[in-house]
Structure formats: structure tokens, C-alpha cells
Amino acid sequence: MEPLKLKVSYAPFVRSKDSIESVMYNVALALLPATVLSVYYFGIPALLVTLTAIASSIAFEWMTDRIRKKPDSCFDGSAVVTGLLLALNVPSGLPLWMVVIGSFVAIVVTKHLFGGLGFNIFNPALVARVFLLISFPVAMTSWPVPLSVDMQTAASPLGILKTDGIAALQGFSYMDALLGRTGGSLGETSAAALLLGAAWLFYKRYITLTIPLTFIGSTLALVGIAWAIDPANYADPIFHLLTGGLILGAFFMATDMVTSPLSLRGQILFGVGGGLLTAVIRLWGGYPEGVSFAILIMNSLVPLLDSWDLNDIKAKKQQSPKTA
Amino acid sequence: MKTFTVGGIHPPEYKLTASKAIETMPLPAEVAISMSQHLGKPAKPLVKVGDEVKKGQLIGQADGFISANVHASTSGKVKAVKNAPHPGGNYSMTVVITTDGRDEWIEGCNTPAEDWKALSKEEILRRIKEAGIVGMGGAGFPTSVKLSPPKDKTIDTIILNGAECEPFLTADHRLMLESAGGIVEGLAIIASLFEGKAKSYIGIESNKPDAVSALEAASKGRGIEIVTLETKYPQGAEKQLINAITGRTIEEGQLPFDKGCLVQNVGTALAVYEAVTMQKPLVDRIVTVSGMEVKTAKNIRAIIGTRFSDIALFAGSMTEKTNQVITGGPMMGRSQFTLEVPVTKTTSGILFINNTLLASSRERTCIRCGKCISGCPQGLEPWLLATEAEFRRLEDAETYGLANCTECGSCSYQCPSGRELVHWIKYAKALLNNRRQRKTA
């Protein structure tokens, strides 16, 4: 009766089907509409930037695993997501060697030097974007015009707003911004494509709406107040919603599991803080766009936000009656 | 629909045997009756090799306050008194009996039912204690102890647990359908111990509507409220059940009676009824034999001490793909290293499964997704407790509520990184226990 080899392991013996791979590849899938649309608008250069970013991210992941003597993680999907997010955060005309440098900063410096997946404090793709922006400010702000044949470049709507003021935006169409027919980085252009992807992640329960809604809500609230007081000098909230990286950042970067708080109230503070910082930078800062800086600043506060709940558990423990 | 307020998960239900009536398993050739059928000190064996025993005869004497009597589950001859494999994963003192096939009751046991209302409270408690009844939901806490809370505690709520939230298991479900009357009588007996001052409830998950109607019919006019609970794991955990039905929360270090509650499993209530009215000791129980790899999944009535190998044969044996045999449910059960282990008073299920995770399982780093926190019914941060345990920072783990974990396994179920969160938590508890015992010894 007992030729069977019985194996002993830990309970529970059923597990959910979620895995790191399912989380990461679903994020990648959710970014696909925006990626496809950006290739449609910006042509082959956008495709090359995307493929370079993903391939170099995977390559750096593979190399770092070798050096750190860690099990292979280059196909767990996290490098793909980082590469894809990096590509969506840069202009389509960016020289490819700069993209590779971006991947290096993201994967090696921001992720693995801090301990690898799960231990990085800052969002890798965002650190890479900011690194590139500071290192190559011209290349990083030359936005090709969508659907142009001769790779014309133009400023992004937020850039125009910052340098030339609101008067220069006469004739700006919200519909263009919604569909992505404005200048900007690959993934910043179409709000509709991004929201489609975000809806998928929400449906699959890989993100909750706490961070995106508080983030966008507080940005819009602050720019809305400025607009209400002085509409001659400040753009309206819908303009701010549809341009720049607000939707990409709020739904795909600020919700990064590794670099966002665990508890509900931590997430609310994280979203509100990020949203307000974004608005402050957009309205009064030196850069036209503030989403990346805002998220990175909030990333650094995550341990503090998380300790709030832990301290509560400790405090409750000290008060609890000791009968046992 | 009522439910507990914090956390919880929805594993697949796999209730393969929900519509299968209980079958009585034929007598095996041999039974192995462990002296550790319960939480607490093992019973002291009263028989020696060669002794003839009758069904219901006391063969293990409760040793100390938290312990329980053990009885022969059929008639026969004692073949051995030795350490033998126990479904808890260890070896325990076990009385092995060669059955004689007559299944003959000892005198004074299994008598025709008498009216329990004529019995005094002390006599009822004595009969429950004599019968060796323990919590049959899984923990195995001696019932007579649980029914005698300290004098300063007032019980105002009695809850029968028919939630059966573990996947696969249907033993309580079938019992509620087939013995609703006995369960209600058992509950009435328990309630009588508290002078009828406590309100009685029976909590059942919404995936068993037939059990809800069966108990509603059986309890008509008895002042018992049947509560339909949302199908959500771990609805049947004591603290969660109390929270779902009464809204009260058992804090760390508290026991249910600190909040006026008493929870008993439905199977325990039936055992109480049979022990009090018919002087029947606890010698058998309902076991769900299920899992994807067993040929004919079924619910069986097995006598205590029936070996898993015999049960596997009765269920048409298992496929060659079987790589794990689990006692209890798949969330909180234990995998077995041998089929020599016997059914005990707490064996609610035996599952034959092909666990495909074993080949590839490897703990990966936490990606801080927070699913362990959102799933935890105790409001803990399992990732943190597990990390503290991994690095042996046991005192830190304690300050973050280690002792408040009920080990339901929701965190490990949820984890996309395959981290053995609940295992690490159990490990930390065991280390701390050992350390304290060494200090007091």
C-alpha cells in the first residue's frame, strides 16, 4: 500500500495563482495600448527606444544577477516593466545610447545596488528619467511632433505653458491631448490609452485606486484653486490632467508596489503629498513637469509612512490586557 | 449577510463531497488509538498488551486538568502499547487493538436515550468529561474545561460553529444535514449549563443553504438563531466567527469568555448530546476523504484509530500522482509522512492531492504588494513577522503582535512571491515557546 513517496511541506497547500510574473506581465500588458499608440504617433524611433530600453534592462538584470550570484531574475517581468516605463518616460527621438544609460541607472544603480527587486527605495524608471533629464537636458526635452514626417520637434504643452505663458496655448485641443496628438514623451501623450491599461490593472486587482485618485485629485485641486483665482495666468485643471505625465505617473509609477506605502492611510498621504508636490512644481517650479520629482520625493517618505501602522500595532500591544 | 470585518480571502471551495451522504466505514483489522487526541497532556494508558477490551472502555485516563479520556473505539485485543506516528507530525503513545469484528459495547455505554433535562449541571459536565469529548473542529481543546469558564466570567453568547470555511471539507456540512436534531439538542444541553441566560447562535457559511434550512427546521421554537455567514476564509476561525456574529473583537491575550462568548463546533455539540443522553463516549467521527487524487471522494463515519491506509483503500485508493496526504483542510492542515497515522478526534478531513507547487517552490523576495496585510483577518503585518522570524528577532516579532496570529494561512495563500509567511510565524512561536519552557524548567 505504500510505494507512494509522500512529501511533507508547509500549510497552506493551496495557493493563489498570483506570482511576481503575473503581477509584472499584467503591468506590461496594461502599458501596451499606450506603447502601441506611441509607435503609431512617433513611428520607428519610438519602437526602437522601447525595444532598446526593454532589451538593455533585461541584459543589465542578467549581468547583475551573475555578479551578485543571485538566481536568474531577468525574466520575472520586473526588468521588462522597468524598461517599458523608462521608454514611456523619454522623448521618442532620444539617442539609443542614452536609453541604455537610463537602463543602467534604473536596473543596476537604483534597483540592484539597493538590494534588488523589493528592496529599492526609489522607482527605478523614474530615477533613470530624472538622471537623463539632468544629464542631457536638451535631448530629454526635444519632443518630436506626433505623426510628423520629418521628425519636427516642438515643446510639450506644459513646456509651452511654463516658458511662454497661457496665451501661447490658444487653440490647444483637449481632444488632441486625450488621444495623444500632442508633444511629449512616449507614454505621456494619450490619456485614454493609459486609462484603458489602468482599468485592466484595477480589474485584475493589481492596483487599488487609493494612490491614483488622491494623487490626481490633489494636483487638480491645487491647480484648480490657482486657476480659479487667476485664470489669465494659470491653465485649467483639465489641461493639467490631460498633459504631461500625471496619468502615467499616478496610475503606473506611484502605484509601484515596492516603492509605495502598505497601509491605506499611508497610501492616502503618499498620493496627496505627491499630487500637491506635482502641482507646486508645475505652477511655481523651475521645471514644466513635476510628477517624477514628486513621486521620488514621496518614495523617500515611504518607510516613515509605513512605520505609522507598525507603531500603532506596538502601542495597541502595550495596552492590551494580559490574561494568558 | 454577516461576516468578520478585517481581511479574509476567497480560496477555491473544492467541496467535492457536499452531496455525498455519510457512509459508515467497515471495521478495520486493527486500530491505533493515540493517547494524544487533544490539546494538552496525553492521557495515561490503562491497558497492557494482551488485554481484551470492549467498545467504549476507558483505555487512557485524562492526566491533569487540560487532558481528556480516551476510549477503545471497538472491541478486540490489545496488540501493542507503543510510540507510533501521529497525524500531528510526531510520534505519540498509542494503543494498538486487533479488532474482533463483534464491535461489542461495554456495559453502561450507548444506552437508550434518557431525558437530559432531569440531570443536574454537575452530572452533565461529568458525563461530558467522562466521554472524553474535545473540540472536534480541529484544535481539540477538552470540552468539559471549555464549558467551565472561571466564575467571574459571564457567558451571554453561545455559538455553534458550522461555518466549515476550509476548502474540500464537508464533514460538518453532512452532519448538519443528517443529524440536525442531535446538534440542536446538544446546543440546548450546553446552553442549560449557563442557566439559559445566554443567547444561542449557529453560524453557517452561505455556501451551505441546505444546512441552514435543515437547522432552521430542527431548531424551530427553541430560541436559536441560525446565522448565514458570507463564504469567506477564515469565517470558521473562533475569533472571526465571534466577530461576525456579535461584532465583538477578541484582543490579543484574551479568550472568548473574556468577551462573554463560548464557541463549539457542531460535531462537538452532537457528541455532547450523545454523551449526555446515551453515555456514549467519543469513539468515532465524520471524516471527509477528498482531494483531486482519490478515486471516490466521500464522507465517512470512521472509528477513532482507523489508519489512513485503510481509509485510502475504502475510498478506492489514490492515483499515482498523489504526492501529499493532508489531515484537516488544505489551509491549516498538516502533510503526512506516512499512511500509518490514525484518525483522531480532530481529524476533520483526509486529502489526497498532487501538489504541483513542490517541484518549483522557492521563496522569493517580498515585493511589498501588501496582499498579506489585506488578507490577514487579525490585522497584522505578516511580511514583517515573517522577516523578524527569519532573522530570529523573536522579541521584535512579539512586539508586532506575533501571539495574535491565529495561523490561518491567508498570508501565505496570497503571497505572489511564494513566501512561507505563516510557516515562519509558527516557527517563531515554537522557538519562543521552547525558550520559555527551558527557562521555567
What tens digit of pLDDT does each residue of B70-82 get? 999 999 999 999 9
Same domain, B297 and B397: no
Pair type for strands B261-265 and B157-162: parallel
A323 interaction partners in chain B (CB closer than 8 Å): 253-255, 258
Does residue B31 sit at the A interface (CB-CB below 8 Å)? Answer: no
Chain B residues inside the 8 Å CB shell of A12? 11, 330-332, 409, 412-413, 422
Q: Given an 8 Å threshold on Cβ–Cβ distance, is B380 in contact with A313? A: yes
Continuous segment of H or E residues that includes residue B92: strand B91-99
Q: Is B165 on the interface with A (CB under 8 A)?
A: no
Q: For residues B133 and B255, state if they share a domain.
A: yes
Q: Does B348 touch chain A (CB under 8 A)?
A: no
Q: Are strands B324-327 and B334-335 parallel, antiparallel or unpaired?
A: antiparallel
Q: Across residues B33-53, what is the average pLDDT? A: 94
- At B99, list the grid cell: 479488532
| pLDDT at residue A162 tops 90 | no
Per the domain annotation, does B30 fall within a domain? no
CB contact under 8 A, A7 and B339: no
Name chain B contacts of A258, Cβ cutoff 8 Å: 367-368
What is the predicted pLDDT for the residue at A323? 41
Instruction: Look at residue B109 and tell me whether its pLDDT is greater than 70.
Output: yes
- B70 lies in a domain? no
State which of B361, B388, B413 marks the end of a domain.
B361
Q: Please give the mean pLDDT across all residues of chain B.
A: 94
Angle between helices B382-390 and B421-440 in degrees, nearest 10: 60
The verdict on B380 touching A (C-beta cutoff 8 Å) is: yes
Which pTM value belongs to this model? 0.91
Mean pLDDT, chain A, whole residue set = 90
Q: Among residues A249, A222, A247, A248, which one has the least CA distance to residue A235?
A: A222
CA distances from B378 to A313, B369, B405 (A): 11, 18, 7
Tell whether B90 is covered by a domain: no
- What's the gap in Å between the CA of A280 and the closest CA on chain B? 29
Transcribe B37-89 into DSSP letters.
-SSSSPPEE---TT-EE-BT-EEEE--SSS---EE-SS-EEEEEEEEEE-TTS
pLDDT band at A214 (very low <50, low <70, confident <90, very high): very high
Q: How sure is the predictor about A188, in pLDDT bands with cuts at 50, 70 and 90?
A: confident
Give pLDDT tens digits for B353-373: 998 888 776 889 999 999 999
Residues B238 and B256 in one domain: yes
Q: Are B266 and B383 found together in one domain? A: no
Q: What pLDDT shows up at residue A322?
A: 52
Task: From the options 1.10.3430, 1.10.10, 3.30.780, 1.10.1760, give the CATH code of A20-303.
Answer: 1.10.3430
**What kind and span of H or E run contains B201?**
strand B199-205
Chains A & B: contacts with CB separation below 8 Å: 156
Mean pLDDT over residues B188-192, rounded?
95
Q: What percent of chain A has pLDDT over 90?
A: 64
Residues A163-186: pLDDT tens digits?
888 887 777 788 877 777 777 788
Q: Which residue has the higher pLDDT, B227 or B1?
A: B227
Q: Is residue B354 part of a domain?
A: yes
Higher pLDDT: B391 or A286? It is B391
* Per-residue cell: A10: 508547509
Residue-wise pLDDT for A225-246, tens only, equals: 999 999 988 999 999 998 889 9
A148 touches chain B (CB under 8 A): no
Q: Please indicate, yes or no, if residue B432 is contained in any of the structural domains.
A: yes
Looking up residue B319, the CATH number of its domain turns out to be 3.40.50.11540
pLDDT at A149: 65
In angstroms, what CA-CA distances link A254 with A206, B123, B186, B264? 13, 66, 56, 47
Exposed/middle/buried for residue A231 (C-beta within 10 Å: 0-12, 13-18, 19+): exposed
Sequence-ordered strand ranges (E) for chain A = 143-144, 153-154
- Chain A residues lying within 8 Å of B336, measured CB to CB: 6, 8
Please tell me chain B's helix, strand, coil percentages from 3-state DSSP, rounded to the nearest 5: 30, 20, 50
Find the farthest-apart pair of alpha carbons in chain B and give their distance in angstroms, rounded: 63
A50: which residues sit within 8 A by CB, 6+ positions away? A35, A38, A39, A84, A87, A88, A186
Q: Which residues of B touch A5 (CB under 8 A)?
A: 323
Say yes or no: B140 and B229 in one domain. yes
Q: What's the average model confidence in pLDDT over A130-153?
A: 84
Q: Which domain holds residue B293?
A: 1-25+109-361
Exposure letters B390-426 (e unless 16+ CB within 10 A, then b)? eeeebebbbebbbebbbbbbbbbbbbbbbbbbbbbbb
B11 and B160 assigned to the same domain: yes
- Can you give the pLDDT at residue A324? 40
Q: Examine the domain organization and report whether B241 and B386 are in the same domain.
A: no
Beta-bridge partners for A143: A154
Residues of B in contact with A15 (CB under 8 A): 357, 412-413, 415, 418
**From the candidates A4, A70, A260, which should be mutated to test the interface with B, based on the most B CB atoms within 10 A?**
A4
Q: Tell me how far apart the alpha carbons of residues A298 and A302 are, in angstroms, rounded to a whole number.
A: 7
- Sheet of B334-335, strands arranged across: B23-24, B298-303, B284-290, B349-353, B324-327, B334-335
Give the end of a domain, one of B361, B388, B417.
B361
| Res B237 pLDDT > 70 | yes
Q: Which residues are CB-contacts of A54 (< 8 A; sequence separation ≥ 6)?
A: A79, A80, A83, A84, A87
What pLDDT was estimated at residue A320? 63
CB-based contact, A170 to chain B, within 8 Å: no
pLDDT category of residue B388 using cuts at 50, 70 and 90: very high
Domain count, chain B: 2
**pLDDT of B233 over the 60 cut:** yes
Q: Are B273 and B385 members of one domain? A: no
DSSP states along B245-264:
HH-----TT--GGGGTEEEE
For residue B131, name the pLDDT band (cuts at 50, 70, 90): very high
| Low-confidence winner among A171-175, B220-224, B392-396 (lowest mean pLDDT) | A171-175
By Cβ distance, the residue of A14, A117, A324 closest to B413 is A14
Whole-angstrom Cα distance, residue A262 to residue A271? Answer: 12
Indicate whether B75 belongs to any domain.
no
A121: confidence class by pLDDT, cuts 50, 70, 90 = very high
Has residue B68 been placed in a domain?
A: no
Which residues of chain A have a CB within 8 Å of the CB of B331? 11-14
Q: What is the percent of chain B where pLDDT is above 90?
A: 88
How large is the ipTM? Answer: 0.89
Rounded to whole angstroms, the maximal C-alpha distance in chain A is: 87
Answer whether B416 sits within 8 Å of A263, measured CB to CB: no
Enumerate the residues of chain A whose CB falls inside 8 A of the CB of residue B422: 10-12
Question: Residues B289, B426: one domain?
Answer: no
| Mean of pLDDT values over B146-163 | 93
CB contact under 8 A, A9 and B399: no
Last residue of a domain, one of B315, B335, B361: B361
**Structural domain includes residue B42:** no
Does residue B182 sit in the same domain as residue B325?
yes
CB-based contact, A29 to chain B, within 8 Å: no
User: What pLDDT was estimated at residue A318?
Assistant: 75
> B382 and B284, same structural domain?
no
Q: Is A303 on the interface with B (CB under 8 A)?
A: no
Same domain membership, residue B418 and residue B336: no
**How large a percentage of chain A has pLDDT more than 70?**
96
Cβ within 8 Å, pair B400-A11: no
